[in-house]
Structure 1
Amino acid sequence: MADEQPITPAGFAALRARYEELFQERPKLVEVISWAAGNGDRSENGDYIYGRKRLREIDYELSHLSRRMKAVKVVDPLTQEDRSRAWFGATVTVADDKDVQRVVTLVGEDEADASAGRISWRSPFARALRGATVGDVRYVELPAGTRDYEVIAILYPDA
């Protein structure tokens, strides 16, 4: 999975939903721009100026989302055969040397949100946890220095 760009089914659904949302907004915006353009002087026409700016933003994001949806591979954590090890989609509880616990879920780059405990599969912390079993101690190179974490629990979603 090193070259692949995995994403969970929920993450792909979120990308798709955002794409559909923007795709639905675009025709309405084009209509407003056409109406505003017909009103005459475009240099001081706020509807026209804002509409064109927003249309460029939507087109850029649609293009980006389209490329991402083609590049990713949906990997369902439910199908993980070896649930005793931390692989893509696993929720891992770790404890540092001060017994401070942290719970992280290994997800694709597009769905990573550190504040929600979802970390990118390619992040240094996730790379250190890959393949770990309960009881393993993994060393992670962080900007503040090397820290060791013990794997306390590994969970996968149930069907």
Structure 2
Amino acid sequence: MTRWRDPAKDPRQEPKSNVITAEGAARMRGILEHLSRVKRPALSTKVGEAAAQGDRSENADYTYNKKELNRVIARIRYLTKRLDELQVIDRLPADTGKVFFGAFVELEDEHGETLSLRIVGHDETDTRKRWISVDAPLAKALLGKQIDDDVTVSAPGGDSLYSVNTIRYAPRHDGHSGR
């Protein structure tokens, strides 16, 4: 059982932007395809085989595979619905000298340390790659900024000041790239 959260204060209830990069959409479609064509049929077969063994009440194989199958079906439903809601952004902005969705940005903080990140959709955030959601406070503060602009971000530990060093965009499919 999970603990109760006040829906008005739960950050998970905040609306998400319905934008995604072309690479992120392709990755989500690949996961959906794998779950639908490989994982779900394999689990259905396992559940059928375990059910054929007789008493299901004490059949651990059946119980485990049935739970896993239900989890996969729920994930397929979620991905299908989410992909229908998303708008794929697959073009460069008119002004590649400013920070917009999909930008790779290098920042320098007040101590001279650099931070490289990319602004992506909520569904493709990745802390290891330093890809942050367009809905994150830092991303919101960066949108529309140019090289050498200063950005102040409020955080629970205090305000942080950054300077924008570089802005670039992923290459388009036709070989052109951003700045």
Q: Give TM class, smaller chain.
A: over 0.9
Q: 2: CA distance between counterparts of 1:101 and 1:26?
A: 44
Match of 1:156 in 2: 169
Please point out which of 112, 117, 128 is paired with 1:104.
117
CA contact (8 A) 1:91 1:105 kept: yes
Following TM superposition, the consecutive aligned residue runs of length 4 or more in structure 1 with deviations greater than 3 angstroms are: none
State the shift of 1:64 in Å. Answer: 1.0
Match of 1:16 in 2: 29
Q: 2: CA distance between counterparts of 1:113 and 1:143?
A: 21
Q: Which deviates more from structure 2 when the two are superposed, residues 119-128 or residues 20-29?
A: 20-29
1:42-81 aligned within 5 A: 42-76=56-90, 78-81=91-94
**TM-score, L = length of structure 1:** 0.93
Match of 1:114 in 2: 127
Percent of paired sites with the same residue: 34
Aligned length: 157
Match of 1:94 in 2: 107
**Structure 1 unaligned runs (5+)?**
none
Q: 2: CA distance between counterparts of 1:54 and 1:4?
A: 30
Secondary structure of 1:83's counterpart equals coil
Secondary structure of 1:139's counterpart equals strand
Please point out which of 27, 31, 45 is paired with 2:41.
27
Change (3 A) 1:119 1:3: closer
Q: 2: CA distance between counterparts of 1:12 and 1:143?
A: 32
Please state if 1:123 is matched with 2:148: no
The CA RMSD measured in Å over matched residues stands at 1.5
1:139-150 aligned within 5 A: 139-150=152-163
Q: 1: CA distance between counterparts of 2:96 and 2:16?
A: 22
Structure with greater helix share of residues? 1
CA contact (8 A) 2:104 2:169 kept: yes
**TM-score, L = length of structure 2:** 0.83
Q: Which deviates more from structure 2 when the two are superposed, residues 30-39 or residues 136-145?
A: 30-39
Q: 1: CA distance between counterparts of 2:100 and 2:52?
A: 57
**Structure 2 unaligned runs (5+)?**
1-14
Secondary structure of 1:7's counterpart equals strand
Change (3 A) 1:55 1:94: same
State the shift of 1:4 in Å. Answer: 4.8
Secondary structure of 2:64's counterpart equals helix
CA contact (8 A) 1:137 1:150 kept: yes
CA contact (8 A) 2:17 2:134 kept: no
